[in-house]
């Protein structure tokens, strides 16, 4: 798969880059994508939810009314879940939601997500660039020049760049990541994936191609 490389003004540079078909032209596996996104979201959960159960409630243990003759149900403790302020039955407890996913499944998921974007022509390659100062306006102008101003954008760099990251940080529909940080969730969540020219080689190496 061959794509033209554009500069930050949106003009064709005349250069082309070859994207490996083993990454961008495979038959997408929806179940692998589902598993990888599920793991990503599960790993982000804190799992600190907690509700007190009956044995954790502070309160008197005296029998609050006689056993028989009241015309209502018997009750032995004010801490019973049926009373206001009582313990909760089977309430949430702190837990770890993370789970293991095989490396090959995660790789297949990312390849499938990239193939979906490639099939929809939602992948662009930009000539290497840098911002002299970290201004949000610079990133806004970049998106306008590339005609993706009204879309969710994922920009993939070969390595961390503080100015580019800070310039995009205030924009809700833009995200900047490095090749090593690329996730299936980010790819599927974006409308357009922008690769910087020097990120293509590290991407191929990441998938050992």
β-partners of residue 175 are 154
Mean pLDDT of 15-41: 94
Q: Does the pLDDT of residue 116 top 70, yes or no?
A: yes
What pLDDT, in 10s, does the model give residues 117-164? Answer: 999 999 999 999 999 999 999 999 999 999 998 899 999 999 999 999
Residue among 156, 183, 205 at smallest CA distance from 35? 183
Mean pLDDT of 51-71: 91
Q: What is the pLDDT of residue 209?
A: 63
The full set of domain ranges for the chain reads: 2-45+99-206, 47-96
**Secondary structure of 10-75 as H, E, C letters:** CCEEEEEEECCHHHHCCCCCHHHHHHHHHHHHHHHCCCCCCCCCHHHCCCCCCCCCCCCCCCCCCC
Mean pLDDT of 91-119: 95
Mean pLDDT of 14-26: 91
Q: Does the pLDDT of residue 15 top 70, yes or no?
A: yes
Q: Does the pLDDT of residue 82 top 70, yes or no?
A: yes
Q: What is the pLDDT of residue 10?
A: 85
Q: What is the pLDDT of residue 102?
A: 95
Q: What is the pLDDT of residue 79?
A: 93
Domain 2-45+99-206, CATH: 3.40.1370.10
Of how many residues is the chain composed?
Answer: 209
Mean pLDDT of 10-20: 88
Please state, in angstroms and rounded to a whole number, the distance separating the CA atoms of residues 126 and 8: 7
Confidence band for 2, pLDDT divided at 50, 70 and 90: confident
Total-model pTM:
0.83
Mean pLDDT of 34-55: 95
> Percent of the chain beyond pLDDT 90?
79
């Amino acid at each position: 798969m061959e794509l033209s490389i554009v500069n930050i003004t949106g003009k064709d540079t005349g250069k082309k880059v070859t994207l490996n078909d083993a990454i961008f032209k495979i038959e997408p596996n929806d179940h692998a994508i589902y598993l990888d996104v599920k793991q990503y979201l599960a790993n982000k959960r804190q799992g600190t939810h907690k509700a007190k159960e009956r044995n954790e409630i502070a309160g008197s243990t005296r029998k609050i009314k006689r056993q028989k003759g009241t015309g209502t149900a018997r009750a032995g403790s004010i801490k019973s879940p049926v009373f206001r302020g009582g313990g909760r039955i089977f309430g949430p407890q702190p837990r770890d939601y993370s789970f293991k996913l095989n490396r090959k499944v995660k790789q297949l998921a990312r390849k499938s997500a990239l193939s979906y974007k490639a099939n929809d022509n939602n992948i662009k390659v930009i000539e290497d660039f840098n911002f002299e100062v970290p201004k949000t306006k610079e990133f806004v102008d970049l998106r306008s020049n590339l005609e993706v101003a009204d879309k969710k954008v994922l920009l993939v760099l070969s390595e961390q760049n503080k100015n580019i990251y800070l310039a995009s940080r205030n924009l809700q529909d833009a995200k900047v990541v490095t090749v090593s940080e690329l996730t299936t969730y980010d790819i599927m969540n974006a409308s357009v994936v922008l690769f910087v020219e020097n990120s293509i080689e590290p991407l191929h190496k990441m998938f050992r191609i």
